[in-house]
Chain A
Amino acid sequence: MKIATRTGVIATATVLTFALAACSPSNEEPTAATDAATTTAATDAATEPAEAMTLSGSLNGAGASSQESAMEAWRAGFQTINPDVTVNYDPVGSGGGRTQFLDGGTLFAGSDSLMDSDEYASAVTRCDAESGAIHLPMYISPIAVIFNVDGVTSLNMDADTIAQIFDGKITNWNDPAIVDQNDGVELPDLAITTVHRADESGTSSNFTDYLEKASSSWPYEASGEWPNALGESGPGTSAVVQIVTDTQGTIGYADASRAGSLGTVALKVGEEYVPFSAEAAAAVVDASPLAEGANGENDLAYELDRTTTASGAYPLVLVSYHILCQQYDDAADRDLVTGFLKYVASPEGQQTAASAAGSSPISADLSSEITSILDTIAATK
């Protein structure tokens, strides 16, 4: 009995060994073939830049997670038009994305914040030792100040009021500072619970930047880490929205596409109160000057004007950039990057992102400016 079982085991093991041995070469062959095919295709594209429409190869990027759902839509859209291209985007965060790009690991980076002077310098080394890298604003997303007070769907607030609420200076919904700006709104005697992001995020960074610049009551600097120890917090946008939805008397901030049916705050801009909208968010980018230290006129790195008084502009926005070289070593890489980014900047690409991620499409002027900048990206061979 036992001997029979053992023989069985040995037999099985033997068969398995042979089967596995047989497996490995047959597994490798198709991979090698595919690799070869990809390489050939990529070389073809490089030698015949005239056929720019038939792009192939794989394009790797990494960076801000804010763009992740838009990037999914862009990838899908672009790969439908160019079936031979694979676009990969690793949402490691803005800092990680810039590092990977500067180390030469990726062809472009997604970033919520601008490169600092050190990074501009290493970008020159990474790209072509000459013209360095540039920013292109591809993803504009308004940040909504969301709240949960029974029966109230919209409130007017200036930046000072918001700053004082988030700094624990205004602690009740019926505080005169809020009531005075909202004629005819019945505000309850209810404690305010502030809700912020527990993790480091571009949303926090833009929100605190707005509070710092637009109000005189915010004693902290702009930072991706929430600066004070007040209020409640949750990891990620979903958690913040969840907390505000579940709890009466809460106020928080989140990507506007996630505001859902929660109450939202209209910000005071000039003499009027502006609720968030796609047009209002794009308007503030158009009204903003380029940042000092930008890398030439092709570098569309905006210093967002949080104190803008432009009519109908909503200054609490997150702008996420794509960072790319002005010159690539390889024409195939150049074609992939510019081809993809042209699609992203096109009205079609922007609309795709708007419906998938709730972002605000960039204005038509900005779109055509970006396209003409992308046409100037060079390749050394």
Chain B
Amino acid sequence: MTTTEEHKPFEASAVPLTAHKESVANKLFGGVSLVSASLILVTLAAVATFLLVEAWPALTDTSGELAAKVDWIRPEMGQSLIQIVGYLVFGTVLISAIALLIATPLSIGIALFISHYAPRKLAAGLGYVIDLLAAIPSVVYGLWGAIVVLPVLQPFYNWLGDNLGWIPLFAPDPLTGTVSNTGRVALSAGIVLAIMIIPIITAVTREVFLQTPVLHEEAALAMGATRWEMVRMAVFPFGRSGMIGATMLGLGRALGETMAVYMILSPGLSYSFAILQGGLHNTIAANIALKFPEANSEGVSALIAMGLALFVITLLVNMLARWIVSRRSEFSGAN
């Protein structure tokens, strides 16, 4: 109803509201948006404060009480709290990087297909299906990954280990001489995470690609460019900051993803790049989910300290993304 009215511009808005009414409405909406905006800041500050306050006992513990009270903190095995956080940060970044490496090219391909290659009807349907992927809860992805995907991937891992085992990434376990028999490895977690972040990256890049000025595209085509050259010359430069922003959004989700990693990965602590061996990696979020149920108050404090580390990483990623986007936007075709 309202939309049809909006299309008749001068009829509706030409009826002037009285000055008094307008000022009330202005104040009201101004106030509502101010409250909403401040609420976000307050929430963020509250989370940061909570993390700091709760993690403080674990962070400042020097008496070794933490190691005595928490079973999984074992300084004698090189697993003090700070060392564990180090391993987990490495695992988190490694698995997210795998996910991003797989998801980014795929997502850009899908977005490009939807925006520039597919027939209109197919594009609409495909876009809808991709959005549906985003609606699947991560615990379902985890179950699906653990029960369906792992057995499918494992023979492929065997092949990789047998033929490309000399590459450190695909190195087999020195003890057994094979890669993981279960497939519960960092690469699997990365692949499932990639599937989970594809919808986000695709949705954002698709929107950006669709914004490309038609004049730019037609100009490129008029100069005799093929369709691919047109995409390279007109669409990509225009959408570059959008693509980076989308990738960072995806990275943000990958960094914090919990359930899927929790259910797919055999956790462990190391700085190994062997992504086909089980029991070497874990992520911060999955580790918190794993250790929380049986944690005592000292354990909870140590876990929250890990949460703080994740918070800082995510903050850094977002700031980096902002910075890149703002830097790039000056040179993009958008202006």
Spell out A's residues near B (CB within 8 Å).
1-2, 65, 92-96, 99, 168, 171, 191-193, 195, 198-201, 223-225, 229-235, 239, 242-243, 246-250
Contacts and interface: CB of A to CB of B under 8 A. Distances in A.
Nearest to A172: B176
Nearest first, the 9 A-B pairs at minimum CB distance are A232-B266, A200-B294, A225-B71, A191-B176, A232-B278, A93-B294, A193-B181, A247-B182, A233-B266
A246 B279 contact: no
A224 B70 CA distance: 11
B181 A191 contact: yes
Given A2-B12, A235-B262, A242-B146, A225 B72 contact: yes
Contacts, number: 88
Contacts of A225: 71-72
A235 B182 contact: no
12 contacts: A92-B293, A193-B181, A198-B266, A200-B291, A224-B71, A233-B268, A235-B289, A239-B146, A246-B147, A246-B151, A249-B181, A250-B182
Given A233-B279, A235-B262, A239-B263, A168 B175 contact: yes
B150 interface: yes
Nearest to B289: A235
Contacts of B151: 246
Interface string B159-191: 000000000000000011110111010000000
Nearest to A246: B151
Given A93-B293, A239-B146, A247-B182, A232 B72 contact: no
B71 A232 contact: no
B210 to A, nearest CB: 33
A232 B182 contact: yes
B72 A229 contact: no
A231 B279 contact: yes
A95 B12 CA distance: 67
A356 to B, nearest CB: 22
B181 A229 contact: no
A243 B267 CA distance: 14
Contacts of A195: 182
A209 to B, nearest CB: 14
Given A99-B296, A193-B182, A201-B294, A231 B278 contact: yes
Nearest to B296: A95
B267 A233 contact: yes
Contacts of B5: 1-2
Contacts of A229: 268-270, 279
A64 to B, nearest CB: 10
Nearest to A5: B1
Interface in B251-294: 262-263, 266-270, 278-279, 289-291, 293-294
Contacts of B290: 198-199, 235
A99 B154 CA distance: 44
Contacts of A171: 175-176
A189 to B, nearest CB: 12
Contacts of A199: 290-291, 293-294
Given A224-B294, A231-B266, 10 more contacts: A2-B12, A96-B296, A171-B176, A198-B266, A199-B291, A201-B294, A225-B71, A233-B268, A234-B184, A243-B182
Residue among B176, B178, B267 with most chain A CB within 10 A = B176
Residue among A95, A96, A201, A232 with most chain B CB within 10 A = A232
Nearest to B181: A193
B175 A232 contact: no
Contacts of A239: 146, 263
Contact of A234 (B72, B266, B293): B266
Contacts of A234: 184, 263, 266
Interface in B118-160: 146-147, 150-151, 154
Contacts of A246: 147, 150-151, 182
B72 A191 contact: no
Nearest to B143: A242
Contacts of B71: 200, 223-225
A235 B263 contact: yes
A191 B177 contact: yes
Contact of B72 (A2, A99, A200, A247): A200
Residue among B5, B175, B293 with most chain A CB within 10 A = B293
Contacts of A233: 266-268, 278-279
A239 B143 CA distance: 10
Contacts of A201: 294
A160 B190 CA distance: 38
A2 B16 CA distance: 13
Contacts of A2: 5, 12
Contacts of A94: 294
Nearest to A1: B5
Contact of A232 (B263, B269, B279): B279
A37 to B, nearest CB: 36
A94 B5 CA distance: 64
Contact of A243 (B175, B184, B289, B294): B184
Contacts of A230: 175, 279
A321 B151 CA distance: 39
B71 to A, nearest CB: 4
Contacts of B154: 247
A2 B5 CA distance: 10
Given A191-B177, A234-B184, A250-B182, A198 B267 contact: yes
B111 to A, nearest CB: 35
B181 A247 contact: yes
A227 to B, nearest CB: 9
A95 B296 CA distance: 7
A229 B294 CA distance: 20
A65 B278 CA distance: 27
A233 to B, nearest CB: 5
B235 to A, nearest CB: 42
A195 B267 CA distance: 11
